[in-house]
Amino acid sequence: MSTSNKKSIVRGKRYTAEEKSKIVSFVESYNTSNGRGGQSAASKKFGVAQLTVSSWLRTAGSSTRRSKVSGKGSMQGKLTNLLSLGQDIAKLEQELNSKRAKFDSIKASL
C-alpha cells in the first residue's frame, strides 16, 4: 500500500483545565465589552474550533452563550443599565440638594 492511499490520522490537541479557563474567561470578557462575538474571537486568537469553545462555555455554565438574553444590546441589559443610572441620579440629586442647602445658608449669612 502506497503512502498516498493511507489515511492520515489527525489527533486533536488536549487542553489543560487552565487553558480552557483562560479561553472561557477571554470569551466572557470579550462579550462583556463588545456584547457578542467572543467565541469567534477566541477561536481565531487561540486556534480552537468554535464548537469546542461553545462546549467549554456550556460546561462552565457561562451565561455569555445566551447573548440575546444577557448581551449588551438586549432588553435585559438595557433595563439593568437604566436601573443603575436611575439609582446614580437619585444619589447625585440628594448630594446636590445638600450642597444647595449649604450654599443658601452661607449666602444668607453674608
Tens-of-pLDDT digits for all 110 residues of the chain?
Answer: 455 556 667 677 888 888 888 999 899 889 888 888 999 999 999 999 999 998 888 888 765 544 444 445 667 778 888 888 889 999 999 999 999 999 999 999 99
The answer to whether 64 and 72 are in contact (CB under 8 A) is: no
Report the predicted TM-score, pTM, of the whole model to 2 decimal places.
0.48
What does the pLDDT read at residue 66?
46
The answer to whether 54 and 39 are in contact (CB under 8 A) is: yes
Q: Which three cell numbers stand for residue 53?
A: 469553545
State the number of CA atoms in the 13 A half-sphere of 104 facing the CB: 6
Beta-carbon contacts of residue 28 (< 8 Å; ≥ 6 apart): 38, 62, 64
